[in-house]
Amino acid sequence: MRARTDPSLSISVSFGAISPRLSRLMACQRAEEPQTPIHLHEVGLAEQLRGLQDGRYHGGLAVTSAPGCDLRARPLWRDELAVAMPTQSPLQAFDAVPLEEAARYPLIHWQSPACEPVSALVDAAFKTHGPRPTSACVQSYELMAVLVAAGYGIGVGVRSRIAWLRAPNIAVRPLAGDSHAVTTYLLQPSSETVAAVDRLARRGQAMRT
């Protein structure tokens, strides 16, 4: 493993990894290490993995550990899948929505591959309930919120990201069960180490609460 030093960090962010905690992490980085600016690049997952492997990015934030890609994956913080529903939905009666109840409603689906790995996480959660009725396919939380509020169906995504929208006429409930955790990882090329990325990882891990 070779060491690498750079005056700034180029960090890629794939779908699902943008969250309030990322905002806090960036603010913490500016306050504690202003001499090492971070340049964020919003990219698709496939592009992120290629860029990490060919050296374009010092690190990447993703909601997958990218198994099989010869990358080092360090867990930063955990979230969970949640259901976005119209405020008049009967699903509001649940503190946590059972999958079998959510499966009764049309799902606003994440477009793949643009929304990987979130689309894969949602598909995996519902895989035991057979094909899902899909009312629309979207590539952003904002459009999902528009369609949910208009009554086109429910959306399932990362809880903190849905709540961050503060969208009117939408309620948010977690999915019931213990297997719907979403972990944000800091991915790095396994062949090199960058001290500033290590420090960034430690700051991110301090934000688990």
Confidence of residue 35 (pLDDT cuts 50, 70, 90): very high
For 130-179, the pLDDT digits (tens) are: 666 677 999 999 999 999 999 999 999 999 999 999 999 999 999 998 88
For 37-90, the pLDDT digits (tens) are: 999 999 999 999 999 999 999 999 999 998 888 899 999 999 999 999 999 999
Q: Is the pTM of this model over 0.85?
A: yes
- Domains with residue ranges and CATH for the chain: 9-77+183-206 (3.40.190.10), 79-181 (3.40.190.10)
Confidence of residue 204 (pLDDT cuts 50, 70, 90): very high
Least-confidence region, from 88-92, 100-104, 192-196: 192-196
CB 190 within 8 A of CB 72: yes
Tokens of 186: 């800091």
Q: Give the H/E segment covering residue 170.
A: strand 170-174
**Whose structure tokens read 């999902």?**
144
Segment 177-186 mean pLDDT: 92
Say what the pLDDT of residue 118 is.
97
Report d(CA 75, CA 204) in Å as an integer. 9
Task: Please choose, from the candidates 132, 164, 152, 162, the residue with its C-alpha nearest in 3D space to the C-alpha of residue 86.
Answer: 152
Report d(CA 171, CA 86) in Å as an integer. 6
Residue 6 has pLDDT above 70, yes or no: no
Q: Which of 26-35, 126-135, 174-183 is the most confident on average?
A: 26-35
Say what the pLDDT of residue 128 is.
80
